[in-house]
Structure 1
């Protein structure tokens, strides 16, 4: 098994999103830039939920790259969810796929890469192999 390819399937994480009036742009739908905030919120919530407390306390995350494809607009009264999956990690880098949905409608798809950093030094920090069991459970 290579470090970049998990033996088990990653667990999907659902993060509910509240569309706020400030999210709406002059065209009456959610501003495109807001989707990136939602991705960040979902990725960090995923990390905070699954990682052990000592890792949550000692590590932080910075975005390296986002590739976003917009499919449909979101509106103020919409029930929106971000479904995020940690696809792989290697060294200090983590690779996520996030789908932002309203019901069955896909509003946006985002591929993103993140750098794990030490919370004190703010330098890149290797993602420990012990974390694989939390993010890639054997029974999916």
Structure 2
């Protein structure tokens, strides 16, 4: 499987995101990545899979390029690189216009919502993320 089509997730910079230096606190970028990855899952996975599975971050590797400020128009673009069993590997670019503010490589584990144990992603569900959809995505 090649990397999936990008998913664009708009971000609103809130006053609470701003730190003592007058720009978005570095830790907030990780929250944006989580929001974007979860939105990607909810946008493409069937409603039943969304209800039955949760995602937890295993690892983030982040490179900060430029600061973000209050009122900036920011977009997180997530690209699902691959799915292996219960794990998913993403690249996320956080941009302001054409400027890359941060690059994030992350790995995630899918867990069963009831047992909280790792849950393998079914091949037909994973295929939806890589353009091989047999039905339309849910509106969840």
Q: In which range does the TM-score fall when normalised by the shorter chain?
A: over 0.9
Are the counterparts in 2 of residues 30 and 76 from structure 1 also a CA contact under 8 Å? yes
Runs of 4+ in 1 over 3 A off after TM superposition: none
What root-mean-square deviation, in Å, do the aligned CA atoms of Structure 1 and Structure 2 show?
Answer: 1.2
Question: 1:134 deviation in Å?
Answer: 1.1
Deviations 1:30-49 (A, max 9, x none): 00000000000000000000
Matched positions, count: 133
Whole-angstrom distance in 1 between the partners of 2:33 and 2:67: 16
Residues 55-70 of structure 1: pairs in structure 2 closer than 5 A:
55-70=49-64
SS at match of 2:68: coil
Q: Which runs of 5+ in 2 are unaligned?
A: 134-140
Q: In structure 2, which of residues 73, 78, 90 is the aligned counterpart of residue 79 of structure 1?
A: 73
Whole-angstrom distance in 1 between the partners of 2:16 and 2:118: 34
User: Equivalent residue for 1:126?
Assistant: 120
User: Equivalent residue for 1:19?
Assistant: 13
User: Equivalent residue for 1:49?
Assistant: 43
Segment of structure 1 superposing worse, 96-105 or 8-17: 8-17
2:21 is the counterpart of 1:33? no
The TM-score normalised by the length of structure 2 is 0.92
SS at match of 2:102: strand
Q: Which runs of 5+ in 1 are unaligned?
A: 1-5
Deviations 1:62-96 (A, max 9, x none): 00000000000000010000000110010110000
Deviations 1:1-34 (A, max 9, x none): xxxxx1x541100000000000000000000000
